[in-house]
Structure 1
Amino acid sequence: MTNRVDLGIAFSGGGTRSASATLGQLRGLRHLGWLDRVRYIAAVSGGSWAALPYTYWKGRDDDLLGVYEEPAQLDHDKVLLTPNGTLAKIISESSIAGPGLREAAGEFRTFALPENANAYIDKALSALDKSRREAGRANKTYSRLLQDKFITPLVGSQSGLRVGWEERSVDQISTDNPRTLGAHEFIKVPDGRPFFIAGATLVPPHPAFYYPPLAPVEYTPLYSGIRQQFGAIGGAYIATWAYDSVDVSPGEGGLVRVRPAADGRTFTPADIISSTGAAPQLTLLLGARGKGMLNKIFGTASGYFPAYHPIAVRATGPALDAEIPHGDGGFMDYFGIMPLLARHVRNIIVFINSNNDFDQNDDLHSLFFEGARNDSGDKSMNIVFTPARYHELMTNLAQRRTSGAPPVYCGTNWEVAANEAYNIRTYGDLNICWVYNRPTGQWNDTLKAPIKQIMSGDTKTQTDLEKKAGSFADFPWYKTFEQKPPYVIELSVAQVNLLSNLTAWTVANKDSAAALMNALGRAFGGRPPAVPADGTPD
Structure 2
Amino acid sequence: MSPSLVASILPLPGVSDLTGTVGVCLSGGGSRALSCAMGQLRGLRHLGLLDRVSAISSVSGGTWANALFSYLPADISDDDFLGPVILDPSTLTLSQLEQLSDNNLGWVPTRLNPPDLILKLGELKACYGYENSELWQGVIGELVLKDYQLWQADSDGFDTRYLSGTDAYLRSPDGPLARNPELTSDDFITIKRPRPQPIFNTSMFTNDGVDADLLPFETNLLAGVRASFEPGPGRLGAVGGGLLETLAMNSSFQSDAGPGTVNTTLPARAFTLSDIVCASSAAFAQMFEEQYPEFSGLVPRYPYWPIAARTSQPVMTYRFADGGSLENLGINALLARGVSRLIVFVNTDQGVCRDPASSEVIVSADLPPLFGLQPYVAGQGYVPYSDENPGQGPTRLYRHNQVFDTAAFDSLKQSLLAARRAGGALLVRQQLTVLRNDWFGIQPQPQPVDVLWVYNDFVSSWWDQLPWESRDVLTIESLDDFPLYNTFTQLFLTPTMVNALAHLACWVVASDSTLGNPGGVSNAGMFIDMFD
Residue 63 of structure 2, aligned match among 48, 61, 72: 48
Q: CA deviation at 1:497?
A: 0.7
Residue 139 of structure 2, aligned match among 131, 137, 145: 145
Change in CA separation of 1:519 and 1:91 when aligned onto 2, cut-off 3 Å: closer
Asked whether 1:269 is paired with 2:276, we answer no
Q: CA deviation at 1:76?
A: 1.7
Secondary structure of 2:111 counterpart:
coil
Change in CA separation of 1:385 and 1:454 when aligned onto 2, cut-off 3 Å: same
Gaps of at least 5 residues in structure 2 are 1-13, 154-158, 231-237, 353-361, 375-390
Residue 395 of structure 1, aligned match among 414, 424, 449: 414
Output the CA distance in 2 between the equivalents of 1:397 and 1:342: 26
Asked whether 1:496 is paired with 2:498, we answer yes
> Does structure 1 retain, via aligned residues, the 8 Å contact 2:145–2:151?
no
The percent of aligned pairs where both chains have the same amino acid is 27
Asked whether 1:63 is paired with 2:71, we answer no
Partner AA of 1:169 in structure 2: Y
> Does structure 2 retain, via aligned residues, the 8 Å contact 1:342–1:425?
yes
Query: Could you tell me which residue of structure 1 aligns to residue 455 of structure 2?
Result: 436
Which residues in structure 2 correspond to 1:267-306 (within 5 Å)?
267-280=271-284, 301-306=295-300
Output the CA distance in 1 between the equivalents of 2:143 and 2:120: 21
Change in CA separation of 1:83 and 1:128 when aligned onto 2, cut-off 3 Å: same
Secondary structure of 2:371 counterpart:
coil
Q: CA deviation at 1:281?
A: 5.9
Query: Could you tell me which residue of structure 2 aligns to residue 201 of structure 1?
Result: 203
Change in CA separation of 1:273 and 1:132 when aligned onto 2, cut-off 3 Å: farther
Secondary structure of 1:53 counterpart:
helix
Q: CA deviation at 1:320?
A: 5.1
Residue 444 of structure 2, aligned match among 414, 426, 443: 426
Asked whether 1:328 is paired with 2:322, we answer yes
Which residues in structure 2 correspond to 1:86-235 (within 5 Å)?
86-98=103-115, 128=122, 130-131=124-125, 135=129, 137-155=131-149, 160=159, 161-171=161-171, 172-179=175-182, 181-205=183-207, 210-220=210-220, 222-231=221-230, 232-235=238-241
Secondary structure of 1:131 counterpart:
helix
Asked whether 1:79 is paired with 2:79, we answer no
Q: CA deviation at 1:266?
A: 1.4
Output the CA distance in 1 between the equivalents of 2:509 and 2:105: 18
> Does structure 2 retain, via aligned residues, the 8 Å contact 1:62–1:85?
no
Q: CA deviation at 1:322?
A: 1.7
TM-score by length of 2: 0.80
Partner AA of 2:201 in structure 1: G
Gaps of at least 5 residues in structure 1 are 101-123, 288-293, 458-469, 484-488, 527-538
Query: Could you tell me which residue of structure 2 aligns to residue 521 of structure 1?
Result: 529
Query: Could you tell me which residue of structure 2 aligns to residue 23 of structure 1?
Result: 38
Q: CA deviation at 1:410?
A: 1.1
Partner AA of 1:163 in structure 2: L
> Does structure 2 retain, via aligned residues, the 8 Å contact 1:281–1:302?
no
Partner AA of 2:54 in structure 1: R
Q: CA deviation at 1:200?
A: 0.5
Which residues in structure 2 correspond to 1:238-257 (within 5 Å)?
238-252=244-258, 254-257=260-263
Output the CA distance in 2 between the equivalents of 1:174 and 1:191: 20
Output the CA distance in 2 between the equivalents of 1:449 and 1:25: 25
> Does structure 2 retain, via aligned residues, the 8 Å contact 1:245–1:259?
yes
Q: CA deviation at 1:341?
A: 0.7
Change in CA separation of 1:317 and 1:330 when aligned onto 2, cut-off 3 Å: same
Query: Could you tell me which residue of structure 1 aligns to residue 7 of structure 2?
Result: none
Output the CA distance in 1 between the equivalents of 2:271 and 2:162: 5
Change in CA separation of 1:43 and 1:85 when aligned onto 2, cut-off 3 Å: farther
Residue 49 of structure 2, aligned match among 34, 42, 54: 34
Output the CA distance in 2 between the equivalents of 1:318 and 1:192: 40
Partner AA of 1:267 in structure 2: F
Q: CA deviation at 1:136?
A: 5.7
Secondary structure of 1:305 counterpart:
coil
Output the CA distance in 2 between the equivalents of 1:96 and 1:272: 22
Output the CA distance in 1 between the equivalents of 2:130 and 2:140: 19
TM-score by length of 1: 0.80
> Does structure 1 retain, via aligned residues, the 8 Å contact 2:106–2:499?
no
Partner AA of 2:275 in structure 1: D
Q: CA deviation at 1:522?
A: 5.9
Change in CA separation of 1:136 and 1:449 when aligned onto 2, cut-off 3 Å: closer
Query: Could you tell me which residue of structure 1 aligns to residue 235 of structure 2?
Result: none
Output the CA distance in 2 between the equivalents of 1:96 and 1:284: 12
Q: CA deviation at 1:283?
A: 7.5
Output the CA distance in 2 between the equivalents of 1:493 and 1:363: 27
Output the CA distance in 2 between the equivalents of 1:514 and 1:235: 44
Query: Could you tell me which residue of structure 2 aligns to residue 370 of structure 1?
Result: 373
Secondary structure of 1:385 counterpart:
coil
Secondary structure of 1:390 counterpart:
helix
Change in CA separation of 1:395 and 1:367 when aligned onto 2, cut-off 3 Å: same
Q: Deviation digits for residues 405-462 of structure 1, max 9, x if unmatched?
A: 11111113x21111111011111231110001110111112112221222243xxxxx
The count of corresponding residues between Structure 1 and Structure 2 is: 465
Change in CA separation of 1:43 and 1:240 when aligned onto 2, cut-off 3 Å: same
Change in CA separation of 1:280 and 1:378 when aligned onto 2, cut-off 3 Å: farther
Partner AA of 1:474 in structure 2: D
Q: CA deviation at 1:135?
A: 4.7
Asked whether 1:479 is paired with 2:486, we answer yes
Output the CA distance in 1 between the equivalents of 2:527 and 2:41: 19
Change in CA separation of 1:250 and 1:219 when aligned onto 2, cut-off 3 Å: same
Q: Deviation digits for residues 477-525 of structure 1, max 9, x if unmatched?
A: 1121232xxxxx31111110111111111111223774664576363xx
Q: CA deviation at 1:229?
A: 1.6
Change in CA separation of 1:316 and 1:434 when aligned onto 2, cut-off 3 Å: closer
